[in-house]
Structure 1
Amino acid sequence: MCATENGGHQGPEPAQVPASAADPTQGPDGPTPPDRRRLLQGGLVLGAAAALTLAPISFAAAAAPGESTRTVTGTLPTGAADFVYLPVEVPSGVREIAVSYSYDRPAVPAGTPGNSCDIGIFDERGTELGGQGFRGWSGGFRTEFAISRGAATPGYLPGPVRAGTWHVVLGPYQVAPQGLTYQVQVTLRFGDPGPAFTPNYPAERARGRGRAWYRGDCHLHTVYSDGRRLPEEVAAGARAAGLDFIVSTDHNTSASHGIWGPLAGPDLLIVTGEEVTTRNGHWLALGLPPGEWVDWRYRARDDAHPRFARQVHRAGGLVVPAHPYCPYVACQWKFGYQDADAVEVWNGPWTYDDESALDAWDAQLAQSLRQGRGWLPAMGNSDAHSVPQVIGSPHNVVLADDLTRDLVLAGLRSGRSWLAESAAVQLDLTATGHGRQAGIGERLTVPADAPVDVRLQVAGVPNGTVRLLTDEGQLHQESLGADGSGTVLWRTTASLASYVRAEVRHPLPDGGPGRGNTMGAALPWGPMAALTNPIVLTAERG
């Protein structure tokens, strides 16, 4: 997307910063390796965590209402820093700061990434990692934004435009071999700041049914990041999908938190959160305090992730790696799972990425139980951005004591949940033995060789395939009839299985083959309709 120029009256002639000054890494024959001394001489400073700071631009204070614009151009070489900061010296009396940007997209050879550059801004409180200066981020979704005391472009935080050094931040996500030539235009508008914005946060409780199974989608986007749905459209879609709760997870910003209040209600709990989009994977911060933001400007090598996981945990929220096997640039998960509370194994329509995530989760589950450690629950979410992506497909069905933020998060944290493609799918899984019974996410302790009867009830999956799996793999399979409902019974012992979980699959599309395996035969099942977290089976000692 190319930047758009604002029309109307401009202030003084924009000051052009030549590319050679904005980018001293450009030599007569193209990009040359960065040299710290030359960067400093050119007005650039290499910062921590792969950051680069450009020479600042400044504006004169204005005695009367009006506006003033400055424009900066430059070129970033391949291998540029993750974040490039443009300091803007903002004088007093500014009512609005507006920014637009553009960058070139030269042709690249097949298989070579082309240019892609994100944008955001920090105010006079600074750019410190995890600091207070964050004022907004739109990634690569917008080419311009504006911030004033009473309003801001979606993705950005309304509030005072105070005097001091602000920083426009560029995020060169991908840089072509020819480099990335950019232009940033900053406009300050002077005058009365106007009334302040008043956020309206959603309530932390809705009208529940006491202890019950509640349905919710914990990964959703709006126009406040890179979605195309308005928040009111997301709320309406959640209700249409039969959901009891949703979590707002726009990328790298808390800007939407303050508008959810009127869209929640007795029938829909809305929880505030964020999708933290780093260069080494994305994760969901679920249950953030309204208005709280989580920083994303780090890689796995920076060892900063545990700090921000602790931030979420202190607030009672959950840390959930999202789509860990997504093949797109910077999406694959590289931080490990030691700080996670759950993992998203199902993201949108079922794909091979989800198969990989499910297989990896199942292997981790078996290992954790074998070593006597806590296990990581599975989650499924739609990650819906726009039509035709379906809100609530899939979603989580969680057992909670009531429909509140804390109780829903507690149910997800404990793994008392199963995953469904839609509200049309119904499921119940129990294990009974030695006069005791356990459900999904619970533990059944019995004598090692005592019979354990597993019972699965399913509805809503016509001609589906039911699979029961343990740490040995699939040990039972049955087919459902055309009405999509049935009851499956199977017996095991705690000496044979450390857990049991269920999957319900759709028929193969058009009767086609499933995934092949090393045994040669195609696997006889299709896309996922539902899957459960495990019931853990433990043999009594002594």
Structure 2
Amino acid sequence: MCLDGHCEHEVDVLHVDRTDDASSAPGRRRFLTAAAAGAAALTLESVSFAPSAGAAVQGTPPQSGEVTRTISGHLDTGVADFVHLPVEVPKGVQKIAVSYSYDKPAVPSGTPGNSCDVGIFDERGIALGGRGFRGWSGGARTSFEISNSEATPGYLPGPVEHGTWHVVLGPYQVAPQGLNYQVQITLTYGADGPAAPRTYPPQRAKGRGRAWYRGDCHLHTVHSDGKRQPVEVATGARAAGLDFMVSTDHNTSSAHAVWGEYADSDLLIITGEEVTTRNGHWLALGLPPGDWIDWRYRNRDDAFPRFARKVRRGGGLVVPAHMYCAYIASQWKFGFDDADATEVWTGPWTYDDEHAISTWDQKIGEAVRSGGRWIPAMGNSDAHSEPQVIGLPHNVVLAEDLSTDAVMDGIRAGHSWIAESSAVRLTFTASGNARQAGIGETLKVPAEAPVDIRLDVKGVPDGTVRFITDEGQMHQESVNAAGEGTVVWRTTASLAAYVRAEVRHPMANGSPGQGNTMGDALMFGPMAALTNPIFLTPDRH
């Protein structure tokens, strides 16, 4: 029924274990299951709206006013990764607005409750990696609007063209009782307003030529689930002493078009995305402004390599994020064959990071044994809101210039180290046989020639320096209360295939060191700085 222009349309959704065919009970609403969008999907019956009266007559202005439809239904546990609600948008629509809600029944302790994301694709379709993407807010908001002149953060402004749009629900947790949902769609008729401005950030800032540049490559704003406005993130990056930052809102490129307003000669702002699949999250760093990377797949769908290639074709990097995060769908399951680097330290130091570094170190050893490619380490804040600290930690990258391409090249090559703040400074070198190599480089020397590993550090009072090789920790030494010191250790290429350095804080309140089943505990605390390795290769000639 319709009252005062508000129309309500109830959709009765069949359970996923039912089959819909000609013999189905009359009056039941039809759905389709498919894997066309990568992960399993459920498509509901379409919702239709009457065309604008003016849209049928060429040259006649579209009718003004609003019409609303409300759709409700039920989803069972395991029904689908994504639920598509087709919306038939007629000509003459100026704005589309969507709101949604779902119930949250009580569940037993330890059982996931209902959580459901939302987004939308336009008339160009829902194909995996296709052109129809118009926005995603996950579970960060319950409503959004799109018009030619503006859009809710997380969504892309532009004309609301006629055709079949799709509201997409992402029920990534469903309670044993199932999930009851309601979606309300409002179309506003009228002429399009002026196009929204797009101010993409420049690809270069004023640098110092070949130098070490500091940057946080994992940051969120209100364009996904962050609480900070873009201006607050840029201000925070400057306050942290950073030279560059990467915008990585979840599953959307909408923030790209606003960063130009906040970039300047002192701060390079690089566009990217955090791609949140059902089998782990990854960072797409250095995307061409406006590019969007799809996330609607699992490891078994074999789609990840396709999107990794897309990122690299655009000059960007593929970086698994917080690989041991305990939250649902956050642990990394795709392996590292398609990774350009990996995030081993995310936000304040935790045992998740300790585990990630152990895995990364193992991968270095595998690369040395096979003669294959090694994967550089990164550290980022993943800051969303206060009190999370932008730049804790961040990367210090040797780049030819302060430009997107140069920074990506430096990270890709492993010419970088990780610092908890701009107060921490270090240099790390290996010298032998009248040659020297730095972070991410290879020193080629006679197998038995002495090699001096040297670390100079500032900014970690009473810190502990650790030198780690393919045999494990080979040297440990503390610096003074002022946090300054030089540590030198001698080895050979026959004994160490690589050497990397860690600088740790002292243990807090006399707490024990890292557990060691083989003997005494290793006496070091949380990380303050971490380098990528220097490789030592025997010169056979």
CA distance in structure 2 between the partners assigned to 1:11 and 1:386 by the alignment = 42
Q: Deviations over 1:281-325 (max 9, x none)?
A: 000000000000000000000000000001001001000000011
CA distance in structure 1 between the partners assigned to 2:278 and 2:503 by the alignment = 34
Q: Is the 8 A contact 2:225 2:250 kept in 1?
A: yes
CA distance in structure 1 between the partners assigned to 2:538 and 2:131 by the alignment = 51
2:40 maps to which of 50, 57, 66: 50
CA distance in structure 2 between the partners assigned to 1:306 and 1:374 by the alignment = 17
2:10 is matched with 17
Q: Is the 8 A contact 2:45 2:85 kept in 1?
A: yes
Corresponding position: 1:61 with 2:51: yes
Q: Is the 8 A contact 1:149 1:158 kept in 2?
A: yes
- Which has the larger displacement, 369-378 or 216-225? 369-378
- CA positional deviation for 1:51: 0.4
- CA positional deviation for 1:156: 0.1
CA distance in structure 2 between the partners assigned to 1:516 and 1:455 by the alignment = 27
Q: Residues 522 and 35 (structure 1 numbering): CA distance in 2 closer, same or farther, change over 3 Å?
A: farther
Q: Deviations over 1:373-402 (max 9, x none)?
A: 110000000000000000001000000011
- CA positional deviation for 1:43: 1.6
- CA positional deviation for 1:42: 3.0
- CA positional deviation for 1:242: 0.2
CA distance in structure 2 between the partners assigned to 1:453 and 1:438 by the alignment = 11
Secondary structure class of the residue paired with 1:16: coil
- CA positional deviation for 1:47: 1.4
Q: Deviations over 1:127-164 (max 9, x none)?
A: 00000000000000000000000100000000000000
Q: Is the 8 A contact 2:140 2:225 kept in 1?
A: yes
1:470 is matched with 469
CA distance in structure 2 between the partners assigned to 1:372 and 1:237 by the alignment = 41
Q: How does 1:37-436 map to 2 (within 5 A)?
A: 37=21, 42-48=29-35, 49-63=39-53, 64-436=63-435
Q: Residues 502 and 43 (structure 1 numbering): CA distance in 2 closer, same or farther, change over 3 Å?
A: same
Secondary structure class of the residue paired with 1:365: helix
Identity %, equivalent residues: 68
Q: Is the 8 A contact 1:279 1:298 kept in 2?
A: yes
2:57 is matched with none
Secondary structure class of the residue paired with 2:428: strand
CA distance in structure 2 between the partners assigned to 1:329 and 1:152 by the alignment = 29
CA distance in structure 1 between the partners assigned to 2:376 and 2:200 by the alignment = 29
1:533 is matched with 532
- CA positional deviation for 1:432: 0.4
1:4 is matched with none
Q: Residues 54 and 235 (structure 1 numbering): CA distance in 2 closer, same or farther, change over 3 Å?
A: same
Q: Is the 8 A contact 1:438 1:535 kept in 2?
A: yes
CA distance in structure 2 between the partners assigned to 1:435 and 1:391 by the alignment = 41
- CA positional deviation for 1:514: 2.5
Give unmatched runs, 5+ long, in structure 2.
Answer: 54-62
1:17 corresponds to which letter in structure 2?
E
Q: Deviations over 1:191-234 (max 9, x none)?
A: 12110112100000000001100000000000000000000000
TM-score by length of 2: 0.95
2:59 is matched with none
Secondary structure class of the residue paired with 2:354: helix
CA distance in structure 1 between the partners assigned to 2:18 and 2:306 by the alignment = 30
1:33 is matched with 17
Give unmatched runs, 5+ long, in structure 1.
Answer: 1-8, 26-31
CA distance in structure 2 between the partners assigned to 1:87 and 1:517 by the alignment = 57
- CA positional deviation for 1:489: 0.5
Q: Is the 8 A contact 2:20 2:30 kept in 1?
A: no
CA distance in structure 1 between the partners assigned to 2:6 and 2:216 by the alignment = 50
CA distance in structure 2 between the partners assigned to 1:487 and 1:453 by the alignment = 12
CA distance in structure 1 between the partners assigned to 2:178 and 2:507 by the alignment = 46
1:13 corresponds to which letter in structure 2?
H
CA distance in structure 2 between the partners assigned to 1:226 and 1:36 by the alignment = 37
TM-score by length of 1: 0.95
Q: Residues 368 and 386 (structure 1 numbering): CA distance in 2 closer, same or farther, change over 3 Å?
A: same
Q: Report how many aligned residue pairs link the two structures.
A: 525
Secondary structure class of the residue paired with 1:165: strand
CA RMSD in angstroms, aligned pairs only: 1.4
CA distance in structure 1 between the partners assigned to 2:33 and 2:4 by the alignment = 32
